Structure 1
Amino acid sequence: MLFKKAFSVIVTLFIVASAQANDFSVTLLGTGNPMPEVERFGPSTLVQVKDKTFLFDAGRGVTMRLQQAHIRAPQIDGVFLTHLHSDHITDIDDVWLSGWVFSPFGGRSTAFNIYGPVGTLGLTKGLSAAYDADIVIRKNVEKAPASGIEFVVKEIEQGVIYEEDGIKITAFTVDHGAVKPAFGYRIDYDNRSVIISGDTRYSENLISYSKNTDLLIHEIATGDKRIFEQFPPAKAIFKVHTSPADLLKIVDKVKPKLTVVTHIMILETLKVPKLPLAVVAEMLNDKSGHEIVLGKDLMRFEVTPNGVTTI
């Protein structure tokens, strides 16, 4: 009898721990950059916390990755934009429209919630105007609910922008050169946290908001040194992104349990080939012991009370 009771307690504790361990996860939907790549779609990160689903940026191909991750568009409770560069927003229209029309992927009947910097409202108004003919037809012929195509827009500033059911999302400014404001995001839940850097060069403000986070998801840019001779704009590009050396400095100050590299930008030209990923990985070899992983599309992370598990 005592054995049965003890066994029952152990099983119950295991189930509770497992449920808690799986209530905060991150999926990389796109780890690429402005250049089209089949293996790496445009920048986009899915965060699932408790019973909420959030999308951070919506780069090229995000709807395809959502389908591969078995996420229906109406499940998304909010879209959060880091900034308005085209590679971070180019698939918002697809998530918005495909999530509305009747299909196994869509069928949204509630408004599309979107958070972003100044200019986000103008973006949504432009999308509504651009697709007006399609929207009218789907409302009149397919009887798609008018409520499902509406935007609810919140243009944000630095600070807490979402707080509900123990979930807190904080926006903080980062340094993306002339792009102002550009934001990173911190997601907190149950004494666990995730940081999404957005596009930025070395940023003390990011470091301040990221201290002791569980999972740091950070961008990177690099390339063969000859790229500056063959492609003069490379200097301007690198000035507003984070080099491997600067990322190591950031990681050393933040001390996350795990760092994952996304928005991987390895510049190349016809005469200067792209650096192999193995070379980039070696650049990120952190001899101080911090774990840094090169992200891949559809890579998933569970943020548990005991650490971060990579799936």
Structure 2
Amino acid sequence: MRQGPTQAELDAPTKIVILGTGTPIPDPHRAGPSIAVIHRGESYVFDVGAGSVHNATVARYKYDIPSLYPTQIGHVFVTHMHSDHTLDLVEAAYTMWWRRPHGLAIYGPSGIAEMVDGMHRMMAPDTRIRMSGTQPVQNPDGYRANVTEIESGVVLEKDGIRIEAFAVNHGDVKPAFGYKITTSDRSIVISGDTEVSPELEKMATGVDILMHEVISDTGLARNSAGFQAYHKRSHTPASDLGRLARAAKPKLLVLYHGLYYGEPESRMVDEVKATYSGDVVLADDLDIF
């Protein structure tokens, strides 16, 4: 476990707040995968797993980051359409929507517009009741999300931050994306769910921080042959991640969204270090980098 953030980390123009490090398996200590990049006081959130919006609220008060309050989160970037990465999308868009200054901007692969349309249909009774009753509604359009279905390339560039999507290999899930975030003081790659690929290595080469999913080699070996084959086409075993990091040479490798399959969490770093000698840490919810 890391020590609390340093003052330098809190004061940095660009900082990373870990909103969730978990998996599809419910964990009382880990929300679903979600990473917030804070730049010049604005939040850019990558994936919104279950519990991540609650953790954003915790981080808002714990670290005094106003833009992590749910009504102030302006941008969400989805890596792929699996439920463990999207379950809190409705919470991000609809928490106190009537006080939102503007609707949430949502970026994601093909399918994200269909998901958001379904979300609006599901929540229609709520919006109808609030707008037809006596409750004051500051912004009747606060729940209306602005959706962009993305392809590889730059998806947002504003106020000194550049966010680029790149294709990753996540088995049957196509398309799936990772993201590279570049600011004046930081370069960050968020892998999303993926196996190792040349494109990922290229995007991650020389970055300040590589945030990467991981699966325990030892834990994976306990699975059936079918599950082992599935995971190897969809995720990154620790030893493969070590080899990727050795080639890409990030200044810091941060592990998140880890599948352990019964192995102690602390062993994951050791498994990566078997093939990588650089700096590597295992992220916990609410860590700051």
Provide TM-score, normalisation by structure 2. Answer: 0.89
Match of 1:157 among 144, 151, 164: 151
Structure-2 change in CA distance of 1:237 and 1:73 (3 Å): same
1:284 deviates by: 1.8
Q: What are the residue-to-residue correspondences of 1:154-303 with 2, within 5 Å?
A: 154-190=148-184, 192-222=186-216, 223-224=218-219, 227-229=222-224, 232-267=226-261, 274-285=262-273, 289-301=277-289
1:297 deviates by: 0.6
Paired position in structure 2 for 1:82 = 79
Q: Is the 8 A contact 2:243 2:275 kept in 1?
A: no
- Count of residue pairs brought into register by the alignment: 273
1:155 deviates by: 0.5
Residue 93, structure 1, aligned to residue 86, structure 2: no
Counterpart CA distance in 1 for 2:272 and 2:108 is 31
Counterpart CA distance in 2 for 1:233 and 1:225 is 8
Counterpart CA distance in 2 for 1:153 and 1:174 is 21
Counterpart CA distance in 1 for 2:220 and 2:148 is 41
Counterpart CA distance in 2 for 1:112 and 1:290 is 38
Q: Is the 8 A contact 2:71 2:95 kept in 1?
A: no
1:99 deviates by: 4.2
Paired position in structure 1 for 2:132 = 140
Q: CA offsets per residue over residues 34-83 of structure 1, 9 Å max, x none?
A: 01001111000011011321110000101210111012112212000000
Higher strand share: 1
Unaligned runs of 5+ in 2: 1-7, 61-67
Counterpart CA distance in 2 for 1:117 and 1:187 is 17
Q: Is the 8 A contact 2:20 2:31 kept in 1?
A: yes
Counterpart CA distance in 1 for 2:9 and 2:180 is 23
Q: Is the 8 A contact 1:81 1:115 kept in 2?
A: yes
Structure-2 change in CA distance of 1:244 and 1:152 (3 Å): same
Supply the AA of the counterpart residue of 1:204.
P
1:140 deviates by: 2.2
Counterpart CA distance in 2 for 1:20 and 1:43 is 22
Same amino acid, percent of matched pairs: 34
1:279 deviates by: 2.2
Residue 83 of structure 1 aligns to a residue whose secondary structure is coil
Residue 35 of structure 1 aligns to a residue whose secondary structure is coil
Q: CA offsets per residue over residues 131-163 of structure 1, 9 Å max, x none?
A: 111111122222332220111001000001101
1:226 deviates by: 5.2
Supply the AA of the counterpart residue of 1:59.
G
Residue 256 of structure 1 aligns to a residue whose secondary structure is coil
Residue 29 of structure 1 aligns to a residue whose secondary structure is strand
Counterpart CA distance in 1 for 2:119 and 2:71 is 18
Residue 47 of structure 1 aligns to a residue whose secondary structure is strand
Counterpart CA distance in 1 for 2:220 and 2:246 is 25
Counterpart CA distance in 1 for 2:121 and 2:269 is 44
Counterpart CA distance in 1 for 2:189 and 2:278 is 16
The CA RMSD measured in Å over matched residues stands at 2.0
Match of 2:15 among 25, 45, 53: 25
Counterpart CA distance in 2 for 1:124 and 1:291 is 39
Structure-2 change in CA distance of 1:137 and 1:170 (3 Å): same
Match of 1:58 among 48, 57, 61: 48
